[in-house]
Amino acid sequence: MNASSAHARTTAAGSPAWLRGAVGYEVYVKSFSDTSGDGIGDIAGVTSRLDYVKWLGIDVVWLTPFFVSPGLDHGYDIASYCEIDPQHGDLDAVDALIARAHQLGIRVVFDLVANHTSVAHRWFETALADPLSPERDYYLFRDPSPDGGPPNNWLSHFGGPAWTLDESSGQYWCHLFLPEQPDLNWRNPAVRAEFDAILRFWFERGVDGFRVDVAHALTKHPQLPDNPQIREIAPDAGPMSAFASFDHVHDLDQDSNAEIFERWHDIAASYGACLIAESGVSDPARLARYVAPGKLDLAFALKPARMTWQPAELLTEMLALAEAEPDRLSWVTSNHDQDRVVSRFGDGPQGRQRALAVSTLMFSLGGVPFLYQGEELGLSNGQVDPDDRQDPIATRNGIATGRDLARTPMPWNPDINNGFSIGQPWLRSAQRPQGLTVAGQHENPRTPLHRYRRLISLRRHYPELWQAPHSIVSSGRDDVAVVQRGRTLTVANLSPEPFAINLGDRRWRVVFASQGADGDAARGVVNIAAETSAVLVLDE
């Protein structure tokens, strides 16, 4: 695809036209499908399952990192951005995946881990070996504080200080995650130029975009001052609780990030490609800054993917986000970093019912909703023995669970290892029952798999769900949301009792219900069942 033809296919706001109305699907590559038999998911495994992804109705697949890496954070510690880790395949396998996806009409998005590299990256190895090298300024090395300790009070997301001492030079390096994931210095023009080349390398090979990992953390305050502490840290506090004890005004969400996004946007737009922010920013107005015209195309609305079953709080959060940015959010209820939504919402049939009710509302809020692999099956957390933990948050902090529970292998069928691999999976976990596998649900139209497939198809059949301006209709309750878009009406009743809505004399048709029957005609007073969302369309 040449740059001029790609640019012609962008919208007025500069985003690719193909992104509008799309539905995405996150593939955690290491746990999706293994073709080599070594128990580790690979690129060829993803390619072999693309027909399933197409059948599901997905438009965009986002793949977690598969680049050369020591694997201390399962690929998010990258040692080379343009080489493939042999355990996942090679460049030929990537080219084959992109070609097959495009043949099926599926766009492919990779992960861009730009906040940090691995200590095994040649840039960092040079920076350590020669403090006078240009690569030293690729990272944030600083002298100790007057007492000889870390330069400031910043903490790592993964536990402990965000600084590790380089004993040979006496300076510390900054890392907001593992010590083996040193943060890059994004105020250095050379770093920006390096990533320009990385983006172009992959865009030239046909990649359709990038999900930008921790996009809100790239630049830091130039003086690296202490963050204000807002509460005491309990003696038994875990890493995330300790991290939340500070107001991260100096290490996160700096306005200077916008300069980087504008630069990347110009590159991506010339290829008709997209950029999606993974941003921990929760304030709707500040999140909207990341997707202003000429910056990133979408930003993940991550807070709903962390919340437990709190109907009023969920709806308040989601509707506020939709009001602040009605078109350029990526909606998620699950991802590889959080407990699965079914488990957070109560587990079992109740958790599945609630999860689909929330997803139905999300599919009516514009933007681009993403499903996380297995979400369409109604999967709850996997079962992992504490001795089999792999997540560094758990293993390095003595935590019993961590992110492993959301990363267990995709259950394709009831065969050995649920059809994920003929070898022992990298993450040992309990076998899923047949009813929670793709094969076990495929033949039964009443299963979650078919309901999610029908929900996905709604956006194609009723483009008003993402195209028309939305209006939030007062329901008189804080646990019920009513959203009108053109001829569509979505009623999300997250309350524990039925909700009566008066539709007046006009004739409506229920085109989707998260539970119960579809296709019923409706007018006058209609009851929406408890913990159920329904999408209605004017039938006249």
* Catalytic residue numbers, as ranges: 213, 278
| 44, HSE (Cβ side, Cα atoms, 13 Å) | 15
* Closest listed residue to residue 367, CA positions, set 253, 470, 295: 470
Nearest alpha-carbon partner for 419 in 92, 20, 49:
49
Chain CA centroid to CA 225, Å: 30
Q: Which residue has the tokens 């979408």?
A: 298
> Cα separation of 310 and 320, whole Å?
15
> Which residues on adjacent β-strands are paired with residue 48?
none
Is residue 392 within 8 Å of 72, Cβ to Cβ? Answer: yes
Residue 101 per-residue DSSP state: H
**Stated length of the chain:** 540
The number of beta carbons lying within 10 Å of the beta carbon of residue 120 is: 16
DSSP string, 344-392: HTTSHHHHHHHHHHHHHHHTTSSSEEEEETTGGGT-------GGG---H
Pair of tokens at residue 395: 């293993």
Residue 149 three-state SS: coil
Please provide the DSSP assignment of 294-352 as one string.
Answer: TS-SEEEE-GGGT--S-HHHHHHHHHHHHHH-SSSEEE-S--TTS--HHHHTTSHHHHH
Q: Which two tokens stand for residue 245?
A: 């004890």
Q: What is the largest CA-CA distance in the chain?
A: 79
N- to C-terminal Cα separation, the chain: 43
Please give the single-letter amino acid code of residue 83: E
